[in-house]
Amino acid sequence: FDEVERPIGIQIYGAQVDAMAEAAALVTEHYAPDFIDINFGCPVKKVVQRNGGSGCLRDLDLVDRIIAGCVAATHLPVTVKTRSGWSETSRDPVGIALRMQDAGAKAFTLHARTRTQMFTGKANWDDIAMVVEALDVPVIGNGDLNTPEDVIRMKEHTNCAGVMIGRGSFGNPWLFRDARALLDGEERPSAPDPADKFAVALEHARLALELQGDTRSTMVEFRKHFGWYTRGLHGATTLREKLFQVERMADAERIFADYLVSTAMAGAA
């Protein structure tokens, strides 16, 4: 990463105490981030099956040992991201948060759903508010932040120190800019037009190809991002059908260029 990106954290996950401590030490030595974050929140099946992510919430003693091991292995602050519990029957955001703080976590991010909820239903922001009241370390709120106004509402509802935006930013990186403006008491910036969206989508794709390899598989994997970037546009369904067939960067560039020409002609008619 570039120095201009600091402060930056690197997130790790796993269920083996020694391996996690070693990972924390290696990340510290080789990448020198500003902090290390432990993921106890990922609900994805392939991660949970190996007891990683939110799978660790079924064994809070293990969670304690993982955090303590990582803290001992690095001079950097260790932070955590987690959920309100494994299931509704074990939902205990405050209890979980206090244990993680006691184990050495220097900041705490809460996605206010349980693992069994995955991303269904609504995030219970009251969980975040209760954790804010209980902890001495900064608390970051997460869950259902899809608009700049959502960010303001969460801050007001929970008094959290900060927010973490995830799925709401898919295809909408302008969400961060707009939320920052509202938090600073400024007017919300104008929404990007299709040309702006396409320019950013293509730059995003170029970076993906640069980092992951300029291959057909990388481009196929990126199709979903094109779908997110084009949500809400006139004729989006037809546009996405074309984008979901792309195999090369040139294909996407041509499709976007054709769309802009056709919409300009329609507007002039």
Residues known to be catalytic? 42
Decide: helix, strand or coil at residue 139: strand
Decide: helix, strand or coil at residue 111: strand
Among 154, 131, 14, which residue's Cα sits nearest to residue 83? 131
C-alpha to C-alpha distance for 66 and 108, rounded to whole angstroms: 15
Please provide residue 239's backbone torsions phi and psi, each rounded to the nearest 5 degrees.
Answer: -60, -45
Cα 37 to the center of its chain, rounded Å = 13
Is the Cβ–Cβ distance between 141 and 125 less than 8 Å? Answer: yes
Cα 253 to the center of its chain, rounded Å = 27
Cβ neighbours for 35, distance < 8 A, ≥ 6 positions apart: 7, 9, 76, 77, 78, 79, 106, 107
What is the C-alpha radius of gyration for the chain, rounded to an integer number of angstroms? 21
Q: HSE-up of 242 (CA within 13 Å, CB side)?
A: 15
DSSP string, 10-31: EEE--S-HHHHHHHHHHHHHHH
